[in-house]
Structure 1
């Protein structure tokens, strides 16, 4: 499969708008003055060092947190103001934590993604397709408490797909995965955007982000310091400034996209 295909159509009105957002908790200032938008048909990566504010921003977009100042609009309404069931139909979220305390089967876990929706003839089709897309169809009858970390992450990703929302939020989805499944997941995230969904993903691997994403939002110390296509954003100077690490930025030998190599 191609590592990156052409992005889907982008209407004028973005489905996510962030304007002057800040967030403070327990006296700690985690985000300040963040503004950006994301549209259907677009895959946007939020990158930056640990503690930069990426996951906090994703939680605000999801409606799990409320901004201390500024506004966020999800399809015209602040995420935290959507009724819970309606919000779950608007956006799906894959968080970093995947602990499972109860002995559901993998298929039952994935089926939970259909909970916000009325019963439909499409339910079984969507569940089956999600199991295949996440490459866990052979694990469908396994107890989720017996899965490895990577297998469980793939099951949670399948549940996120089954939710069938127009906005998809993924928080470090590739962290527990091996090389093959990192590629598989990012290819599926790319195809979601190409289908016309608005996809935002938190990533640490800058080269992976550059290969699959339309734009990169670089966070540093709670601020959005750069936003744009990978070729414009991923410069050695900016990466050294943000990460405090010298790098070389090369052209990928197959895709031509930026490839970030520590020096």
Structure 2
């Protein structure tokens, strides 16, 4: 349970950091690139079992890490495009509602339990995610549905693959080096994108983007580490864990936005938070 709580805490920290990125006009792509370097370095530094970088490709989880790394960067850009075309609320809802994907696969692939309480709790949690995330803003855009659908599928696929690879290929002592490799691969893809962008429009990297990337990299690394360690707990079914993790992040992030950033908190948001808590309780009991 402690690893799940830490995963929720560090994931919520990412929300706070990204919020400050907007305040301080941080170049997100550059910060993301530095963040991947930091997380990659931490993964190898804290690894319980040392593996030469030249032999990483020989590990049984490498192909999965390669695909996940590319997916990390791709979904980041889909998220950015969705926010621009459809608005922040739609982006938030599509990303967080994706919890249904690993939940369904957990039940299908691992024969996880299906009880009345669990079904009610998951449905309640999904409704809560929508109510907690929706913002009543007149300026919200109405773009194509393709981008939110891609974000929904992509985000859910990341969680599902993370569970599958952890379950079948990652040894307990390789969690850190697997996570570091994952971030390193994502960093390589981000680097190429950054080079292409720089060729089109030259601009200095900027010290504040480097500092922002370092600040982002530490909690980003631990959010993945603690999530994987939580998934290793046999007392938690993945469908239960992902529901609790994602919905709790929504609740805590919403409360942080309310109390620290003075964001508007509608009746829908309040109902969503209450339903989220009830949903988490039901899923946990089930």
Q: TM-score scaled by structure 2?
A: 0.27
User: Of Structure 1 and Structure 2, which has the larger fraction of its residues in helix?
Assistant: 2
User: Of Structure 1 and Structure 2, which has the larger fraction of its residues in strand?
Assistant: 1
Q: TM-score scaled by structure 1?
A: 0.29
